[in-house]
Amino acid sequence: MSEDKIVEILNFAMEIEKDGILSYLDIARKTKEISGKNMFITLAQEEVRHYLALEEEVIKLLKEGHSEHIEIPVSLIEKMAPEITKREKRKKGKSELNELDALEIALEQEKKSMEFYKSKMEEVEDENLRVLFKRLYEMEQNHYDLIFAQLDYIKGTGFWFDIPEFSMES
């Protein structure tokens, strides 16, 4: 795969991340509940980190003509996920319809990002780029899981990360 094609792919990935940043900040602005605002702001911050990692890779390719392994540290959301799954009780509250809509929009955004990174992970030959796309895919998967869990919780399905919150047996 040519350097130009790789730079094109990375630039497209940066646009996806930029769209995510703008979407999450817009959703945060429109969300009434403070916990929802905070979640979307955190997601936007994570997308900024993804964007910067991709930008760093483009700069490296253009300056030196090859990719480099870029270490992306464990994110706040990845650190939170295991703690969230351990919670047994959560505060019940009313949710606005627009927050459900916001979560569904965010879920779709993460799904598109995951699909993109997965396809590019399989397409590129450069091992450093493959590792970068795999890492970004994993981070987007964590975002997806968090948003999906919040959506399940608000809809009252009784599942939190696909684990039933209650039992009908007794």
- Count of CB atoms situated within 10 Å of the CB of 131: 17
User: Under 8 Å CB-to-CB from 139, ≥6 apart: which residues?
Assistant: 46, 50, 72, 75, 77, 78
Task: Write phi, then psi, for 168 (nearest 5 degrees).
Answer: -85, -10
Q: Output the pLDDT for position 85.
A: 38
Phi-psi region for residue 90, left (φ > 0), alpha (ψ -120 to 50) or beta?
A: beta
Q: Output the pLDDT for position 164.
A: 46
Strand partners, 163: 160
Q: Output the pLDDT for position 36.
A: 78
**73-113: per-residue pLDDT in tens?**
565 555 544 443 343 234 344 444 367 778 888 888 899 99
Ranges of the chain whose pLDDT falls below 50: 80-97, 159-170
Contact 20, 113 (CB under 8 A): yes
What's the half-sphere exposure (Cβ side, CA atoms, 13 Å) at 135? 20
At the fourth CATH level, the homologous superfamily of domain 3-83+94-162 is Ferritin, core subunit, four-helix bundle (1.20.1260.10)
Residue 41 class from Cβ within 10 Å (0-12 exposed, 13-18 middle, 19+ buried)? middle
CA-based max dimension of the chain: 65
